[in-house]
Structure 1
Amino acid sequence: MFKLKHFIFLIYALGFLGHSQTDQQNSKESYNKLHELKQNLQHATDSENTNEIAQTYLKLGDFFNELDLYSEAIKNYQIFQDFHKTKDTSIVYVENALTQINLDLKKFKDAKKHAYKSLNISTEINYYKGIANAHALLGSICEKQGFYKNALKHQKTSLSSFQILKDSTGVAITNDNIGSIYEDLEDFDSAYNYFKKARLYSKNCNTNIQINIINNLGDINSKTGNFEKAINYTNQALKLAKRIGNNSQIESAYKDLARTYSEIGNYEQAYKYLNHQSIVKEQDLKQKNIEVVSTMEILYAVKEKEAELQLLNKQKQITEVRQYIILICTTSIILALILAFMYWKKRKKHEQHILEYQQQLLQVDLDKKTEQKAALQREIEIKVSSLTNYSLNIAHKNKILYDISKTLSKLKDRNIHLIKSKLKDIIKDIDTDLANHNEWTELMGYFSLIHPDFFKNLNQITSSPLSSSEIRLSMLLRLNLSSKEIANIIHITTDSVRIARYRLRKKLPINSKDDLLTFLLNL
């Protein structure tokens, strides 16, 4: 099947069969350079060298910028910024490059944003050349937008910085830029003076800079009517442009010569140079087309190779994944068999343990029942003892009551003085019996058998020691007796019981809203 890439290459071959050997050599050099940069990037990525990755992306940005492939240049510059976070001269250089690209594309808003970012970083790190270049770029942006006052302000600031740095190239270019602004303002004398200064400082500059300045001198002389000087300057620029093979400057020089000769009425010479300009323009356009096509071929070839490499990597990953899946499945089956055997063996052992545990549980249950039986027996004995003691106590109370009743019966017919004496004896006997604390001791003993930790817990939480009467009150409340019942037992009024409860409450850690009885029942 005839592939699309073969079809594209065939069209290129038919359309540009007349390419010179030099163009082919340049294309090959560009391809080799790009291939080398891509290899360097791969090596840096494999070694995880962040600094080398960033620098390679910077070089790729410069490479595409030189070929006027602005979208690729911007993309690589931005990736450089993602890797290179340090504020230094490299960041300033990239911001200036992005400014120039956006300026060439007439994206003035983006150009200004990058220029100010460059200016801020340069100021922060005290990079004076960066400050000078940023102001020069801002001046060019303002000039393109027609803000000549701001343009002059920025260019003159840039000129001062370059003069302090003694940078002759920067001084030459900035003077040339200022001359262009004055030329746009039709202040031709000021423009001419700045172009002359630019020519003076451009002796050691790049030839293209010299050509541009000489062309501007020729143009300004043409506008002021000094046609002879204009032709002289333009011929100088033409000679330099031919020497370095700069078709763009050659075309510009021919165009200026044609215009100048037209101004002085020499239309024959004007037509001749206009014809030369047309030929050079056509050749330059062809050359640029060839360069664009060559660049696109290079970019296409590199991206095709990258795609093939990515495809191979994907296939390799798929193969590795398949191998991993097979290995995992095999390992899983073996592990499943081992686990099944271990489970069977463990289950057998577990069943044996279960039988042993069941026997132990039966023994524990038997021991527990024996223990419960013994506990019930002890409880029965305690209750029998309690009943016996209370029976004796009741019998004792009944005997006293019987004796009192008998004595009172005998006294009803006696002398009043003898009655008083006997009544005193009866009262004494009753008080003596009431003062007997043995029954309280017994009752507290029985209470402790039912609630063994009550008194211990109570003493631990009180703010001050409890009296014996407060302990008795706590016990009776715990037995859930009413205030009236408690009053009858301890021979006091219900009001006295209420006061006693209040005093007991103050010694306990209880909130005012909580119920005392509920607190003691939960203790």
Structure 2
Amino acid sequence: MTYLRYKLLIGACFIGLSFAARAQTTVSDSLRSVIDNVALNEKEKPALLNQLAEANRINKNYDTAIANAKQCIALSLKHKNFTEAVKAYTLLANIKATTQQFASLKQTCDTALTMAQQANDPIAMAYAYYSRVWLYKSLGDAENVVKYSQLGLKELEKKADPFIASKIYYRLYVVNSDWNNESKVNFYARKATENALQAKDYNLLSNCYTALSVAHEYNYNKSKTKTELDSTLFYLNRSEMLYRQYPGQVADNTYAIACINIADAYLKYFPATDKNARDLAIRYAGSARSVLKNAGNSQEIIASSLGILSEYARRDGNSLQQENYLQEAYRVMKTEQPPYYYTMINVVQALSDFYEKKGDYQQGLSFQKEVTEYTRKNFNQQQALNAQKLEIQYETEKKNSEMQVLKEQEKSRRLQNYLYGYIALASLLGLLFMFRSYHFKLRYSLQREKQLQLENQESELQVKLEKEEQARLRAEQQLLETQQQQLKLEVMANTLQLEHKNRMLHNIKDKLTEGDPINMQRILKEEMMLDNDFEHATLQIQHVHPDFFHLLNDKAKKKLTLLDLKLCAYLYLKMDTRQISQLMHIEAKSVRMSRYRIKQKLGLEKEEDLNIFLQQLGT
């Protein structure tokens, strides 16, 4: 009977421990309502759909989980979110490995790896490698399980993700548990737990605590120290307690497994006389059975709890209760079609043994025939599965061979490219050598041309300097001419003024000689006013318009006499006809005639005013 209980427990444990998720049915409903919300951005849905698919997977709602994953893939590819697509494909690989859909498992894993390469994300690559872990686990290839687990962990060194890291470490724990490698079982169980704590995934953490309990059980079996047995129970209790501490975040299956493992520990390591251990074991086995009473796809776990209860009934000598538990386990296993043959065989074998010991040989023989029938069916199923595994293995090896051939071809092509590269390099060096002399000649020609250009530029600069020097000389000459004109003006102005003074003195002299009375005060006053006007106008001619007489001669159609220039100067000085006639000692009529003659020489029209013309010329 112990053998039956142990086999049922191990079968359930290995199935249960592979279920790591984030939510239970209530959480699934919450996620579904969030996803269906029309206000939710479509780009945010893939991550939520992955969580929903995982929640349905751990509760063995595989069809729903697959539908969620496919919806996630469609949305992820639509928005080029390849990382979430890889996670969905990895989840599908997990389901296919668990449900033994080996025919399409490899294609799913290959797709996950292709998507991960497109994503160019270490986390996506870690998930893709984890999907291959499931492939090689299904094929029973533990070495490749370790290889791809290590590749996944190496990717996570670039970018951390404690959730997938915990799952990978858990797979390594399982492999080393099969190998009975005690040190690595302890190491990987602890690493899986550390990462699950960081991820705050309490369903995954519950499984990792169970893994730690198994590690301490290994230690206990080796050392037989009570502290190791206490640690085994400690971590099992922590695994079970998470269900109550975080309602809705630990799956019923996970909780039931923890309860069964606790009951099994009391059954295995405590004496039959320990009533407290017996009561605890029965209580935990009953809890596992109760929590999964109405759950689907949980027949193996329920059968395990019934196996433990039947063992305690046997110890108590209660054969009727033992029979009832075994019959119930049988009925539970029959509800699964097809049943998990390994567990079913153990249940039927236990019933056969029970009835044989009871003396009911007919019933014993009947159940023994069922054992034979289920063994045959299990054998056929295993044969079919092995055929699928061999086909996948063949395809995998074929693809690996093709990849190896492609790598060899790539290597050969690379060597060929190197050879072509060396030939091209040698040709290039030859061309460089051939063109070296040409380049030297060309450079010499360019330098010669540059030198000639410099010489031309120097000549042009010299010519430019000479032109600038000539321009400077012309400017100096013009300045001298201007100064000469100014001196001429000053001389003329002074001459006019002196002439006027002389005439005035002669007039005074004549009047004194003739004895005419002279009002000297009036003459001096008029002379001073005249001198002021004359000096002001002279200065204006000299400073404001030094080229006055030069311009006047240029305007004249006929040459102006000195007397004409003198009259123009008086007019420019704004003297009236009376003043001019007095200064020039001529009659006013002669002044008007002179004005008319000057207008003709200047080519002015009758209506044009000579005074205005001279003022404009001066300005």
TM-score, with normalisation over the residues of structure 2? 0.37
